[in-house]
Structure 1
Amino acid sequence: MIKLYGHELSGNSYKVKLMLSLLSLDYEWIKVDLMAGAHKQPDFLALNPFGQVPVLIDGNMVLADAQAILVYLARQYGQEQWLPLEAEPMSRAIRWLSTTAGEVRQGPEAARLYHLFKATSINLERANQKSEFILTQLNNHLAEREWLELEHPTIADVAVFPYVALAPDGKIDLTPYPHVLAWIDRVKLLPGFVGMIGIEQPMTV
């Protein structure tokens, strides 16, 4: 069985949980207590020397980094829709994984770390500026499309979604970005969607 090491407040752990659920895959959840420093202990560092969650174990394979795990799950267990094999559509989806590790991390994710986890080493002014930039870009990009690329959900949406949806944790107001909010609602309606602390599941009638 697949094993996922992570923490319930980690957006990167959550995006892997979400992908596993969207693919209807069973897995064992193993909590890594970040607050107690479990991610810096020898047993965990043996899995990921970077000392970061998430880590996925599938058989004999051990894989770290949320974006890399999304690529693996999409190709190993998903259909073409999640990560196409053709060069151009694949590159369009992968582009957003880089955005996730760049602008989204420097913006909404950093602001959330500052406010929720008291990471005072973060430059909050810079995080707010980065947040405004990437949210404006996303809002403009989503103005005439429902999904980030290819007119259907891909790992691009799964990668970008968590820390954008969690932006209010970092005191980032999403109301100026109506197309982003509409996209968040669409992601929540995907079959198999699961939420996390800070991201509620949609109301069912």
Structure 2
Amino acid sequence: MLTLYHAPTSVCSQKVRIGFALMDLSYESRMLNLQAGDQFDPDYLKLNPDAVVPTLVDDGLVVVESSLILAYLDRQHFGGRLMPSEAGARVRAEHWLLRCLPIHAAINTLSFSTAMRGKILAEKTSAEIDALAARFPDPMMGKKRKDLILNGLASPYVAQALIYLRRLFTDLQNELEEGPFLNGASPDISDVALSAYVDRLDRLGFSGLWEDTFPRVGAWLEAWKAVPAYAQGITDHLPPGSAEAMKAGGSAHWPELALRWRELADGTH
């Protein structure tokens, strides 16, 4: 029995759900409310001491980290069909899986310094924000979250995020020369691992990050939207009204973010 602990709008949960759908695997769903703090429940912390989602449990075996979950599911339950068999392509795919850690950190940064920041500031007192930061098992992650909430796009974490994202789009642009997906005509494990991260930026209203300079990224995302697993992993789980709220909350910050992005491209940051 596969059991998945996940959250509706968590990008890492979304990419694992896309993988489940693409592999046509069923699972028992355990949905967590991250805003209510379900990830800090003592029973959940026994499964995932980092207090993040998703977490997979397969007949008692606990697997954490979304890219590792994808690789595990592919290897153990899908015959390794999502992982390229050719040596060079396999190395590139495994490298993309490793790179998901800083890419996720960048997406987290832009999410909480823009759309999510406004909601938190409107709903929480200064003391409550301090308490939220203090709950993170990793104190540096708590410090980062607090800094993003208080300083928004002025946070130093934003500059780091934009550097990671520019490299991401540069490499995607170069590697998407041969087809709509990274390894050809159909998505492989690399595409699955990256899909929700680029989707989040699009949902924040930040597609201008790639539209002019990295057009293949936009075409790749559009190709994904035609794959049923995309909706099954992302769209079908979005709470009513959340997509509109995210787009409005993010788009309000786009002019400032676009300026930062141009400065990075020009080498003036």
The alignment's TM-score, normalised by the length of structure 2, stands at: 0.66
Query: Displacement of 1:109 after TM fit?
Result: 3.7
1:72 equivalent in alignment to 2:98:
no
CA 1:12 to 1:185, structure 2 compared with 1: closer, same or farther past 3 Å?
Answer: same
Query: Displacement of 1:120 after TM fit?
Result: 5.4
Bigger shift: residues 146-155 or 179-188: 146-155
Q: Which residue of 1 aligns with 2:198?
A: 164
Q: Which residue of 1 aligns with 2:109?
A: 110
Q: CA RMSD in A?
A: 2.4
Bigger shift: residues 44-53 or 125-134: 125-134
Runs of 4+ in 1 over 6 A off after TM superposition: none
CA 1:192 to 1:151, structure 2 compared with 1: closer, same or farther past 3 Å?
Answer: closer
Of the candidates 146, 164, 174, which is equivalent to residue 140 of structure 1? 174
2:192 alignment partner AA: V
Alignment check: 8 A CA contact 2:106 2:165 kept: yes
Q: Secondary structure at the match of 1:121?
A: helix
Alignment check: 8 A CA contact 2:56 2:63 kept: yes
1:168 alignment partner AA: D
Of the candidates 140, 147, 156, which is equivalent to residue 121 of structure 1? 147
CA 1:151 to 1:53, structure 2 compared with 1: closer, same or farther past 3 Å?
Answer: same
Q: Secondary structure at the match of 1:149?
A: coil
Query: Displacement of 1:142 after TM fit?
Result: 1.7
Alignment check: 8 A CA contact 1:22 1:192 kept: yes
1:179 equivalent in alignment to 2:216:
yes
Alignment check: 8 A CA contact 1:107 1:134 kept: no
1:58 alignment partner AA: D
1:131 equivalent in alignment to 2:171:
no
Q: Which residue of 2 aligns with 1:61?
A: 61
Q: Distance in 1 between matches of 2:184 and 2:178?
A: 12
Structure 2 stretches lacking a partner, 5+ long = 118-144, 149-156, 244-269
CA 1:75 to 1:93, structure 2 compared with 1: closer, same or farther past 3 Å?
Answer: same
Query: Displacement of 1:189 after TM fit?
Result: 2.4
Number of aligned residue pairs: give it.
198
Alignment check: 8 A CA contact 2:15 2:196 kept: yes
Structure number with larger C-alpha Rg: 2
Bigger shift: residues 46-55 or 160-169: 160-169
Q: Distance in 1 between matches of 2:183 and 2:223?
A: 14
1:100 alignment partner AA: C
Q: Distance in 1 between matches of 2:85 and 2:163?
A: 35
Structure 1 stretches lacking a partner, 5+ long = 199-205
Write the deviation string for residues 131-185 of structure 1: whole angstroms up to 9, x where unpaired. Answer: 2332233223324432223664211110111111111344522422321111112
Q: Which residue of 2 aligns with 1:29?
A: 29
The alignment's TM-score, normalised by the length of structure 1, stands at: 0.84
Q: Which residue of 1 aligns with 2:122?
A: none
CA 1:153 to 1:86, structure 2 compared with 1: closer, same or farther past 3 Å?
Answer: same
Alignment check: 8 A CA contact 1:67 1:159 kept: yes
Q: Secondary structure at the match of 2:63?
A: strand
Alignment check: 8 A CA contact 1:108 1:170 kept: no
2:116 alignment partner AA: F
Write the deviation string for residues 53-72 of structure 1: whole angstroms up to 9, x where unpaired. Answer: 10011212111110110001
2:112 alignment partner AA: L
